[in-house]
Amino acid sequence: MSNLASLNWQKSSYSGTAGDNCIEVAFTERTIQVRDSKDMSRPNFTVSRSGWAVFVQHAARI
């Protein structure tokens, strides 16, 4: 797996400018990495690309 620190992390467009709701994602060849940029002591979690696609489709419907 890629070195997580060197990934291109992208902040959610729903993240607030006041430092709240800061979720970031990074795309690797096989997975999507998700982290909470407010609390970097928490571990990232990994989602398969197909799992991420299902999540995005669901989120778009709500």
| Interatomic CA distance for residues 41 and 58, integer angstroms | 29
Q: What is the DSSP string of 1-62?
A: ---GGGS--EE-TT--TTS-S-EEEEE-SSEEEEEETT-TTSPPEEEEHHHHHHHHHHHHH-
pLDDT value at 30 more than 90? yes
Q: How far apart are CA 58 and CA 19, in angstroms?
A: 26
Answer with the residue of higher pLDDT: 15 or 48.
Answer: 48
Counting Cα atoms < 13 Å in the Cβ hemisphere of 35 gives 18
pTM, full prediction:
0.75
Report which of residues 7 and 15 the model is more confident about.
7
Is the model's pLDDT at 13 over the cut of 80?
A: no
What is the rounded average pLDDT of the residues 9-38?
83
